[in-house]
Amino acid sequence: MSATAYAALFSSILFFGMLVLMEVGRRIGRRRLKQDSEGSRAGLGAVEGSVFGLLGLLIAFTFSGAATRFDARKELVSAEANDIGTAWLRIDLLPTSSQPALREKFRQYLDARLAAYERIPDLRAAEVELDRADALQAEIWKLAVAAGQESGSAPVLTLVLPALNQMFDITTTRYVAAQTHPPTVVFALLGVLVLSGALLAGYGMAAAKSRSWVHTLGFAFIMAGTTYLILDLEFPRIGLIRVDATDELLRDVRRSMDPVAPQR
């Protein structure tokens, strides 16, 4: 099951669970009112305030973290495009005879990098493309070192090799960023607090003679929708909110690598 399916399932469980618990809380509250109409609400404000305050804090924490990581992933795509573009340009410093083979490996490498993220959510296919890109890194490095030694120029090596190293390092940074998420227990706690809030909200509505479906459905929908949005931001390659558009920067770099047809 994909992360999107898990997010939809989790949010759906929260939505229907909140409806059930608000009804349960309402019935408990009405029974309590019949038994002790004057003191049934005494001291409950502090408890409700604590639960809803903690719920608001946790939502703010998880949403802010997810949005920050979403922006960071977009910036890393831009950084990789810049690193590949810089390394591509510095191939010009190497001997002319060594450039064609190296440039072809660059094209294959960027194709593999793009394909890896296009294969998501098929993680197995994405891993195959990432492995291919890793293998091409070793080939590019070997060709670049040999070309640099052939040139016999130390300044060339100090310009080309660090650019390649930075181009390779950003892939590790992007991989770690893609795997960085809050611990599962944080989302479990969020779910518990949402359901607890629904129970308390239902208890608080017990004094009303009839159910307010607008408030009941609205509260459940907003909380479940907010939870889904947080989870969607955490996995921006397979949800409604996507970071794929930023890959156009890498595609622009790839198009710039194609040989320019001679004009007649």
- Asked if residue 260 is part of any domain, the answer here is no
**Over pLDDT 90: what percentage of the chain?**
58
For 34-71, the pLDDT digits (tens) are 776 555 555 667 788 888 899 999 999 999 999 999 99
Structure tokens at 148: 């640099």
- Asked if residue 242 is part of any domain, the answer here is yes
- Asked if residue 258 is part of any domain, the answer here is no
- Asked if residue 264 is part of any domain, the answer here is no
- Asked if residue 131 is part of any domain, the answer here is yes
Domain that holds residue 24: 3-34+43-253
Q: How confident is the model at residue 260 (pLDDT cuts 50, 70, 90)?
A: low
The owner of tokens 């190296």 is 102
Neighbour-count burial for 72-111, b at 16+ CB within 10 Å, e otherwise: ebbebbeebbebbbebbebbebbeeebeeebbebbebbbb
Number of structural domains (the chain) is 1
For 77-97, the pLDDT digits (tens) are 999 999 999 999 999 999 999
- The pTM of the full predicted model, rounded to 2 decimals, is 0.82
Average pLDDT, the chain: 87
- Asked if residue 21 is part of any domain, the answer here is yes
- Asked if residue 90 is part of any domain, the answer here is yes
- Asked if residue 259 is part of any domain, the answer here is no
At 157 the pLDDT is: 83
